[in-house]
Amino acid sequence: MGDQLLSLPVIERSVHLCVDIQRIFSDEGPWPTPWMDRVLPVVASLASRNPERTVFTRFVPPSVQTRCRACGSGTTHACALRPRERLDLQLLDLMPPLAALRPPATVIDKTSYSAFAEPGMIDHLRQREADALIVSGSETDVCVLATVLDAVDIGYRVIVVRNAICSSSDEGHEMLMRLYDTRYTEQIETANAEAILARWG
């Protein structure tokens, strides 16, 4: 489908929320997302337009101690993740073209799927009086999905950037895009980065 972008302006208080474009999800990390190389230049073009209005999230796996307190049994999906102690911590960094934009771009770490599970996210957006979120990132059908649905619940205007999100599953990505375009047309807008940048001063 083509762009589904309302005629409303993308104004000064719009924030680009980029979810988890990190080295850990690149080819050098333990959880590679093959599409990342393809979308990274698009994400960088969005972030470079207004870096001071860009928020990057970084997924930081919980430590063994934190994870065991939260789960108890060690059998849940969260507990199956590789704990922080067993990772090269440099892999948690943003991909280099994005890391170069901080500051003025903001970075907020999270330990679960949705960016809004981290209280600092909603506090940050409220302080800057954000009214719309332009969402890019990884993965379409996991952390991006969780973040988008939470943003809708909170009441933000949500614009998903079609060519700036990626997944390790082609099928999962395509299913989510069809869902946005057919089921969530009242809650979620979708558009390519070029259409968004044309309106975002």
Residue 50 corresponds to which tokens in the numbers above?
Answer: 């207004």
**Cα gap 198→201, rounded to integer Å:** 8
Give the burial class of 149: count Cβ atoms within 10 A of its Cβ; 0-12 exposed, 13-18 middle, 19 or more buried. middle
178 Cβ contact list (under 8 Å, min separation 6): none
Residue with tokens 């890391």: 99
pLDDT per residue as tens, the chain (201 positions): 556 666 666 667 899 999 999 999 998 888 889 889 999 999 999 999 999 999 999 999 876 434 444 444 443 444 445 544 567 889 999 999 999 999 999 999 999 999 999 999 999 999 999 999 999 999 999 999 999 999 999 999 999 999 999 999 999 999 999 999 898 988 999 999 999 998 876
CA atoms within 13 A on the CB side of 84: 15
Whole-angstrom distance, CA of residue 173 vs CA of residue 169 = 6
Structural domains of the chain, with CATH: 14-61+93-199 (3.40.50.850)
If residue 99 lies in a helix (H) or strand (E), which one and from where to where?
Answer: helix 96-99
